[in-house]
Amino acid sequence: MRIGELSRRTGVHAHQLRYYEAQGLLEADRGTNGYRAYDESAVLRVKQIRHLLGAGLSSEDIAYLLPCAVGEVPELAGCPELLAAMRSRMRRLDDQMERIARSRDALAVYIDAAERMGAEAYPPFDGSDDREPVPA
């Protein structure tokens, strides 16, 4: 099938399919006319890629995981590469969540302090005023 048909059947834009191919996640043969030709298994492969992207994995992680993928969702066999990639991704997510929590806590302190000072000490903010707030 050509790229337009694969796009229609998976709901994934052609430019994304070309990106998956460039990343080594998807394979296509080239016809004599230069058009990409995908076999039927490409539909399943694209669905697997979409599910794994939805889990927050990078295309690099997915390249390691695809040989372990079985089924559309997919289920992942216990390949060593799979476990290492998922644990690495989990550590990165944990680090991001800790940074976000610290940022949120700091922002809450600033909001609390600003509310205690009283909103009347600040000019109204409509996004167009570049002046610094005047302290009370």
pLDDT reported for residue 132: 56
The one-character DSSP state at 27 is: -
Q: Which two tokens stand for residue 124?
A: 């109204």
pLDDT in tens, 103-135: 999 999 988 888 888 766 666 666 555 555 555
| Res. 77: pLDDT tops 70 | yes
Global pTM reads: 0.61
Phi-psi group of 16: left, alpha or beta (phi > 0 → left; psi -120 to 50 → alpha; rest → beta): alpha
The one-character DSSP state at 30 is: E
pLDDT reported for residue 10: 96
pLDDT reported for residue 125: 61
Q: Which two tokens stand for residue 136?
A: 């009370």
Segment of 53-57, 84-88, 113-117, 118-122 carrying the highest mean pLDDT: 53-57
CA 6-19-27 angle, to 5 degrees, is: 60
pLDDT in tens, 10-38: 999 999 999 999 999 999 998 888 889 99
Pairing of strands 36-37, 69-70: unpaired
Which helix (H) or strand (E) segment holds residue 133: the answer is none
pLDDT in tens, 59-74: 888 888 888 887 887 7
DSSP 3-state of 76? strand
pLDDT reported for residue 71: 82
Q: Are 65 and 76 in contact (CB under 8 A)?
A: yes
Q: Which domains does the chain carry?
A: 3-121 (1.10.1660.10)
